[in-house]
Amino acid sequence: MTVVTRFAPSPTGRLHVGNIRTALHNWMWAKKHGGHFLLRIDDTDLARSTEENVEAIRADLAWLGLHPDGEARQSERFALYEARFEALRAAGRVYACYETAEELDLRRKILLGRGLPPVYERPAPGTPVPEGRNPHWRFRLDHDAPIVWDDLIRGPQRFDSKLLSDPVIRRADGSWLYMLPSAIDDLDMGVTHVVRGEDHVSNTATQIQMFAAMGGTAPAFVHEALLTGSEGKLSKRLGSLGVDHFREIGIEPVTLVAKLARIGTSDPVEAVTDPQPLIDAFDFGHFGRAPARFDEAELLQLNARIVHQLDFDAVADRLPAGMDQAAWDAIRPNLETVAQVVDWWSVVEGPIARPDLSDEDRAYIAEAATVAESLDWSVDPWHALTAALKEKTGRKGKPLFLPLRQALTGRDHGPDMAALLPLIGKAQALERLG
């Protein structure tokens, strides 16, 4: 069996971190098994779906490195839905309903008032059709047997079908709701694994019967615990955290992949620069049922660890003009994001702000200029400079090193001066010490 997964966003808005995790896990599962990862644009809501959002979804997945093996759009598949709908209708698994929203709400309140579950009551045979109303359509559930499946995270699941309402699958204006088109597409596209949030568990129970009614086999289902914010509660802010936000704060795509690949498991989050080890180890059996906590501060810390490992070739097109591998290797240990390299490169190229030194330190720096002038700059000028100054002045430790760093960089801290000083160069170093 070839594993086929799908990510099925609705282009009524931008992807957020929860959507991104769903896309990532579908992609990882397919890649681990040598299968196919499909993008399905669920744009049946023609009034709210936009091409701008479709393009943004594609761009976001591309930025993350999640390249689909195929793409489909529900708006181009209406003929298939119509054919399946008519077949289900002919088989008695779809039926027309005429209640208004107000009538349904009143009926639910009555049932709840009687201490009964608010399950939709099917109209009795021969119920008159109200004049002037177009029907909406429901899928008729089979109440003769429980609905069971073995979820790859939640384990064995069991629903009493008698406690589920027949779901509305089509509105009175003919437009489609989510449930039936999604099941039709999963069957038609050969999807073997549906990976989604635990808020879809009851939908799965209904869709399992839809697969059976269409003569198909249901895919395996994976329902992941929802994300929570760092405060430990379901956070509305997570719904606003998308690729644009992460790019703006300097998060590398692989950082987001590394974080979301392991969130919700007991496996450690690893600072990797290549997702392949994460793919190889990916296992839904490692995921728990407790809500998964997404902490942006932890993401930033992870990003710094990953930036410190990035090869020059991976970032060369984002570095300032003239910056070579030696400069990148010298500066990257001080970066939290690649974008910060611009600031540190300005320290190399100058100009820099002259430090406010004491009279004693100014005299020391003047001495350093004299020593620096006579050095051989072709081999490790920093250690040669500090060794000579230590011998001449008797300084050591912070009094020896800090005034030099301040005079040469305008900063109290930063990259290793042994790596940085050759980048600054003799002429510019003498000017800063003078």
Total tally of structural domains belonging to the chain = 4
pLDDT of residue 235: 61
Residue 162 assigned ligand-binding role = no
In sequence order, which ranges of 320-416 are alpha helices (DSSP H)?
325-331, 341-349, 359-373, 381-393, 398-409
Distance CA 276, CA 164 (A): 42
* Same domain (yes/no): 19, 122: no
Nearest-5° angle of CA 383, CA 387, CA 393? 140
And the tokens for 271? 């600072």
Strands 292-293 and 227-228 turn out to be: parallel
Task: Chunk the chain into consecutive blocks of 10 residues (it has 434) and report each block's average pLDDT, rounded to whole numbers.
Answer: 96 94 98 98 94 97 98 97 98 96 93 93 89 95 95 97 96 96 98 96 97 97 92 68 94 98 95 97 96 92 98 97 95 97 95 93 96 94 96 95 97 95 96 93
Distance CA 172, CA 28 (A): 39
pLDDT of residue 126: 83
pLDDT of residue 232: 63
And the tokens for 83? 């054919």
Contact 224, 262 (CB under 8 A): no
And the tokens for 120? 């939709």
Residue 399's CB is within 10 A of a number of other CB atoms, namely 14
Q: Which domain holds residue 370?
A: 315-434
* Same domain (yes/no): 280, 138: no
Distance CA 24, CA 289 (A): 18
- In whole angstroms, how far apart are CA 362 and each of 101, 170, 389, 430? 82, 81, 14, 14
* Same domain (yes/no): 218, 85: no
Residues in contact with 29: Cβ distance below 8 Å, sequence separation at least 6, in sequence order: 3, 5, 35, 193, 195, 222, 282, 284
Strands 36-41 and 4-7 turn out to be: parallel
Distance CA 339, CA 304 (A): 12
- In whole angstroms, how far apart are CA 166 and each of 116, 141, 144, 169? 16, 6, 14, 9
* Same domain (yes/no): 277, 300: yes
* Same domain (yes/no): 131, 214: no
* Same domain (yes/no): 368, 286: no
* Same domain (yes/no): 328, 418: yes
3-state helix, strand, coil in the chain (%, to 5): 50, 10, 40
* Same domain (yes/no): 63, 188: yes
Domain CATH number, residue 221: 3.40.50.620
Domain CATH number, residue 279: 1.10.1160.10
Distance CA 165, CA 11 (A): 28
pLDDT of residue 361: 96
* Same domain (yes/no): 326, 409: yes
- Which is nearest to 138 in space by CA: 122, 126, 159? 122
pLDDT of residue 409: 96
Domain CATH number, residue 130: 3.90.800.10
* Same domain (yes/no): 189, 64: yes
